[in-house]
Amino acid sequence: MTKPWHAPLLEHLIQFSKQNPMSLHVPGHRNGDVYRQLTDLLQQTYYEELLEYMAKLAAIDVTELTHTDDLHDPETVIKEAQDATAKLYGADHSYFLVGGSTAGNLALILSICDTNDYIIVQRNVHKSIINGCKLAGANVIFLNPEYEPITNVAVVPSIETVRQALVEYPQAKAVFLTNPNYYGISVDLTEYVSLVHHHHIPLLVDEAHGAHYGIAPYAPPSALTAGVDAVVQSMHKTLPAFTMGAVLHVQGQYLQQQNIQQQLSMIQSSSPSYVIMASLDVARATLESYGDSWFIQTYNIVNQLTHWLNSEQLCLRVEQLNSKESIYKQDPYRMLLYDQSNTVTGYQLQKMFESMMIWVEMANEKYAVLVWHMNASEHYIERMRQAILEIHQQISLMNTSQKYISTIKYPIEIAISNPVKLQRFPSQREVEVIALYEAEGRHCAEMVIPYPPGIPILYEEEMIQATQLDYIMQLINSGAKFQGSSTISKGMLKVFV
């Protein structure tokens, strides 16, 4: 342990709960008393265990009392916890988010963009960034991503594409990128920062999957190190924070702190969860005190499993980039598993693991993506070995003459789009539902979003290309799920008349 473990917000809440306070305020569980009463009434072991857990959590699930501070105007323990987070990551300010990285993305865009403003956005971003642009009423210039040549997955646009977009649209208020992607692949953004700052605007980065970057051993550097102006991280994805726990880091001169605070107050609940905030405090303290040793333990386990798997004569393999030859960096705590015989897809691999009660993060046509968190246990190795051997046997019994060839390139050929006007309310134009094969050249009336990872393929009002339709059909045939659309899985699409 390099530093004493200290989580000021959590410690304050625990000390308060030990004083046996009487709750005559919200929330209505009264510091967990209601759950304890239910436990006595129901007298069923299953409910008793669950309600006891809830009662313990409820002891710190308080509200804005005179001593518990206020997330929207922090002065004491919440400020101390946020300041400790900023210090660890090297940011000027760090803001706790109780609505996930979504809240940070929305607040950032709304703090910069007004109606009809222009913003340059990497095309394959999370839908929360698109929704932020909708709320702002912004004109979006979409940039086509590049592709990492080994995995063939989309990464950030090239520096040349960003440079050209800034020349063509000098009125743009910001550039918004996603780095790393959902597969744990990133690039050094230092050159991007210099380029964007040359135009006197901020570079914003959705680093949701990189909360451990720059701190965990062998992990790539954080976008903050490169000088990015605002970085959003989902602490619950790779660190021990509760779901929806995230942080927005800000630094430099291109963003107005007052604007960001105002938008966060609008986006986030006026009754933020102290349980989630306390978990953010715990995640930061744990990373600061135990991050080196606990991530090293996980790193060694992942390496052992990878070495075993790649040295055996098995169907499954771990995809690995050569960091010495590539400009792209791979998160060592994210494993990309694939079937080298091309018999099964990543979606099928995911289902095979799930049948053995091993739940992976996500899948695409080729890969099943596994996230390895800090302090992984040794028993993970043996359990994974048994599962992989079983999957190998299952694949060996399949008809291997029918090979699956993955073609996962994002189907957009134009590097820089024309400005797309995004609006909060759907168009009032008439809509019809047609077969996918009839939709080329029509204007899409819905967002088409395979989930995970939640990256739209088609946007509302966008003219539909044949390559996009082919890509959607490949996803359907591979077993992909789509969010927010009841028509896509049936081979249908909503278009404007």
pLDDT exceeds 90 at position 11:
yes
Would you list the DSSP string of 327-372? SEEE-TTEEEEEETTSSS-HHHHHHHHHTTT---SEE-SS-EEEE-
C-beta separation of 224 from 231 below 8 A: yes
Residue 287: which pLDDT band, with cuts at 50, 70 and 90? very high
Placement of tokens 């050569």 in the chain: 322
Q: Is there a contact between 396 and 344 (Cβ–Cβ < 8 Å)?
A: no
pLDDT in tens, 133-176: 999 999 999 998 998 999 988 899 999 999 999 999 999 999 99
User: Which pLDDT band holds residue 406 (cuts at 50, 70, 90)?
Assistant: low
Please state the rounded mean pLDDT for residues 361-367: 91
Of the pLDDT bands very low, low, confident and very high (cuts 50, 70, 90), residue 452 is low
Distance CA 186, CA 202 (A): 19
Winning range, highest mean pLDDT, from 124-128, 264-268, 419-423: 264-268
The residue extents of the domains of the chain are 8-58, 77-269, 291-396, 426-496
Kindly report the number of other CB atoms within 10 A of residue 144's CB atom: 19
pLDDT at 409 over 60: no
Share of the chain above pLDDT 70, in %: 95
pLDDT digits (tens, 9 = 90+) for 38-49: 888 887 777 888
Q: Report the alpha-carbon distance of residue 386 to residue 311 in Å, rounded.
A: 16
Report d(CA 492, CA 472) in Å as an integer: 11
- Which pLDDT belongs to residue 2? 53
> So what's the pLDDT on residue 411?
55
Going by C-alpha positions, the residue among 213, 212, 283 that lies closest to residue 244 is 283
Q: Are 369 and 362 in contact (CB under 8 A)?
A: yes
Mean pLDDT of the chain: 91
Using the 8-state DSSP alphabet, how is residue 436 labeled?
G
SS3 118: strand
More confident residue, 445 or 454: 445
Residue 485: how many other CB atoms lie within 10 Å: 17
- What is residue 61's predicted lDDT score, i.e. its pLDDT? 92
For residue 1, what pLDDT is reported?
A: 45
Say how far apart CA 89 and CA 231 lie, in whole Å: 11
Q: Would you say 85 and 95 are in contact if contact means Cβ atoms under 8 Å apart?
A: no
Q: What is the pLDDT of residue 68?
A: 95
- With pLDDT > 90 as the criterion, what percentage of the chain qualifies? 68
Distance CA(232)–CA(217), nearest Å, equals 21
Res 254: pLDDT: 97
- φ/ψ of 386, rounded to 5, equals -60, -40
Q: How far is CA 112 from CA 117, 125, 254, 256, in A?
A: 9, 18, 10, 9
Q: Does 453 score more than 70 pLDDT?
A: no
Q: Position of tokens 């063509």?
A: 168
pLDDT band at 403 (very low <50, low <70, confident <90, very high): low
Q: Give residue 272's Cα distance to chain centre.
A: 21
What is the 3-state composition of the chain as percent helix, strand, coil, each rounded to the nearest 5?
Answer: 40, 15, 45
CATH class (in words) of the domain with range 77-269: alpha beta
Q: What pLDDT is stored for residue 405 in this prediction?
A: 56
In angstroms, the CA 422 to CA 204 distance is 19
Rounded CA gap, 364 and 478, in Å?
8
Q: Hey, what CATH topology would domain 291-396 get? A: Aspartate Aminotransferase, domain 1 (3.90.1150)
The burial class, CB within 10 Å (0-12 / 13-18 / 19+), for 448 is: buried
Whether domain 426-496 has CATH 3.90.100.10: the reply is yes
Q: Which residue has the higher pLDDT, 232 or 469?
A: 232
How many Å apart are CA 198 and CA 180, to the nearest integer? 23
- Dihedral angle computed from the Cα positions of residues 181, 184, 190 and 194, in that order, rounded to the nearest 10 degrees: 0
Token pair, residue 5, equals: 């473990």
- 51 and 38 Cβ atoms separated by less than 8 Å: yes
Residue 119 tokens read as 């913003």
Q: What's the DSSP call for residue 495?
A: E
Q: Summarize pLDDT for 191-245 with one digit per residue, the tens.
A: 999 999 999 999 999 999 999 999 999 999 999 999 999 999 999 999 999 999 9
Amino acid (one-letter) located at 258: Q
Mean pLDDT, range 349-372, rounded to an integer = 95
- Highest mean pLDDT (candidates 342-356, 440-454, 461-475): 342-356
Q: Is the peptide bond before 217 cis (omega within 30 degrees of 0)?
A: no
For every residue of 87-116, DSSP letters joined together read HHHT-SEEEEESSHHHHHHHHHHHHH--TT
Longest distance between any two alpha carbons in the chain, whole Å = 70
At 44 the pLDDT is 72
What is the mean pLDDT of the segment spanning 71-91?
97
**Contact 392/316 with Cβ under 8 angstroms?**
yes
Rounded average pLDDT over 253-274: 95
Structure letter (DSSP) for residue 31? T
* pLDDT band with cut points at 50, 70 and 90 for residue 119: very high
